[in-house]
Structure 1
Amino acid sequence: MIDHAHDLACVRDATERLLTAVAEVDNASLAEPSRLPGWSRGHVVAHLARNADALVNVLQGRPMYASAEVRDADIERDAPRPLDVQLADLRESGARFQAAGDAPADWTRTVELRNGVTDSASRVPFRRWAEVELHHVDLGIGYELEDLPDEFTEREIDFLAQRFSGRSDIPATRVTDGTHAWRTGRTADEPEVTVSGPAAQLLGWLAGRRDGGALKARGGTLPKLPPL
């Protein structure tokens, strides 16, 4: 069962780690490319701030973004800002998200995210946790997939395996780190392919952050995953 209060605390901790790390860079470094194609580090930080506000909208029953075009324009507008402005925005938007999460609410209700995707309100804090952790890695400033909390890594693998489950363009696949196992891809009685390796590498492959070269595939080749 999802514990939204626990996940809100994890978001708070992850945000503090992110703020501390970003405070160590300078304006020139912030303008350099991130690990996300076409985005500078400033784009990543701006996206994280705007995503916090977007998830406040979700929790309060408003559309997540006015439109895809407005979302993209806001990120482009905010990306070039100097470090002190970016940090203040990231901190203040994160605080707004925490306040919205702390407000009394029916956490069993269904909420709508982007592109018509729906989910339980109780899962919104975990979704924010994933944004903060993975984009911290995307900044390329010393925080790697191997540094992620074990709980987050296990749960995000589970989340992504479920996201790709039932996809006809992905063979039935068993994913395992040697301790835990997940199934994804086409529904079948027995998986066609078993993908194994360290949890951080599995997460990197599922999340599109690594090419899977460090993983082993038995029963077929490593499945090609669609972009998130």
Structure 2
Amino acid sequence: MIDHARDLDSVREATERLLSAAASLDNAAVAEASRLPGWTRGHVLAHIARNADALVNVLQGLPMYADAATREADIERDAPRPASEQLADVRETGERFQAVGAEPADWQRTVELRNGVTDQAARVPFRRWVEVALHHVDLGIGYELEDLPEEFVLREIDFLAERFAGHKDVPSTGLRSESGRMWTTGGGAEGGAVAVSGPAPELLGWLAGRRDGSALKVEGGTLPQLPPL
């Protein structure tokens, strides 16, 4: 069962962890390239802040973003800001998300995200946790997938395995972590089943498009090419 209140606490902790790590960045470092192609660290920080605003909209029954063009324009507008402004924005928007999350609400209701995607309101805090945690890694400032909480890693693998389940371009794929946790995904593409195994952070990195999967063991074929998230 989803515990949105516990996830909100995890979001708060992840945000504080990111802010503490990013506090050492100066303006030049914020302008340097992140691990995301075409994005500086400023782009990543701006996206984290604007995502908090967007998920506040979702919880309040408003459109997540006005449209895709506005979403991209807002990130481009905010990316060049000084480090102090970036971090203040991440902190303030994070606090706003927490405040809205603390309001009495029907957490079983269905909410609408981007591109017509719907979900249960109770899953929104975890979605925010994903944004903060993975983009902390994307900043390239010493926080790696291996540093993520184990609970987060396993739950995000759950989520991504479900997301790619039945996808027309992904063959039937079994996933196994070193601890013995197992998942299945894909199944919409022709071909035999593929078995992929390795450390859970490596599985997450491959599923989330953060690693190429070269550290994973593949049996029954080649490592599937996953569609972009």
Partner in structure 2 of residue 142 of structure 1: 142
Matched AA of 2:167: R
Partner in structure 1 of residue 4 of structure 2: 4
The alignment partner of 2:43 has SS state of: helix
Partner in structure 2 of residue 184 of structure 1: 185
After superposing on structure 2, the runs of 4+ consecutive aligned residues of structure 1 that deviate more than 3 Å are none
- 1:187 positional shift: 6.2
The alignment partner of 1:176 has SS state of: strand
- Identity, % of aligned positions: 73
Structure 2: distance between partners of 1:57 and 1:123: 15
- 1:168 positional shift: 1.9
The alignment partner of 1:39 has SS state of: coil
Which whole-Å deviations, capped at 9, do the CAs of 1:62-81 have from their partners, x for residues lacking one?
00001101110100000000
Structure 2: distance between partners of 1:84 and 1:223: 41
Which whole-Å deviations, capped at 9, do the CAs of 1:160-204 have from their partners, x for residues lacking one?
00000011211100001032000000169xx71110000000000
Matched AA of 2:174: R
The alignment partner of 2:136 has SS state of: helix
TM-score, normalised relative to structure 2: 0.97
The alignment partner of 2:115 has SS state of: helix
- 1:103 positional shift: 0.4
Structure 2: distance between partners of 1:50 and 1:87: 12
Q: Does 1:94 align with 2:94?
A: yes
Matched AA of 2:204: L
Partner in structure 2 of residue 212 of structure 1: 213
Structure 2: distance between partners of 1:83 and 1:32: 12
Structure 1: distance between partners of 2:51 and 2:32: 21
How many residue pairs get matched? 226
Root-mean-square deviation over aligned CA pairs: 1.0
- 1:90 positional shift: 0.6
Structure 2: distance between partners of 1:124 and 1:79: 25
Partner in structure 2 of residue 106 of structure 1: 106
Partner in structure 1 of residue 201 of structure 2: 200
Structure 1: distance between partners of 2:31 and 2:88: 17
The alignment partner of 1:12 has SS state of: helix
Partner in structure 1 of residue 167 of structure 2: 167
Partner in structure 2 of residue 42 of structure 1: 42
Matched AA of 2:88: A
Structure 2: distance between partners of 1:172 and 1:45: 36
The alignment partner of 1:35 has SS state of: coil
Which whole-Å deviations, capped at 9, do the CAs of 1:48-72 have from their partners, x for residues lacking one?
0000000000000000001101110
Structure 2: distance between partners of 1:90 and 1:221: 40
Which whole-Å deviations, capped at 9, do the CAs of 1:118-156 have from their partners, x for residues lacking one?
000000000000000000000000000000000000000
* Cα contact 2:36–2:138 (8 A) shared by 1: yes
The alignment partner of 1:159 has SS state of: helix
Structure 2: distance between partners of 1:12 and 1:121: 18
| Gaps in structure 2 of 5+ consecutive residues | none
Structure 1: distance between partners of 2:81 and 2:167: 40
Matched AA of 2:75: I
- 1:44 positional shift: 0.1
The alignment partner of 2:77 has SS state of: helix
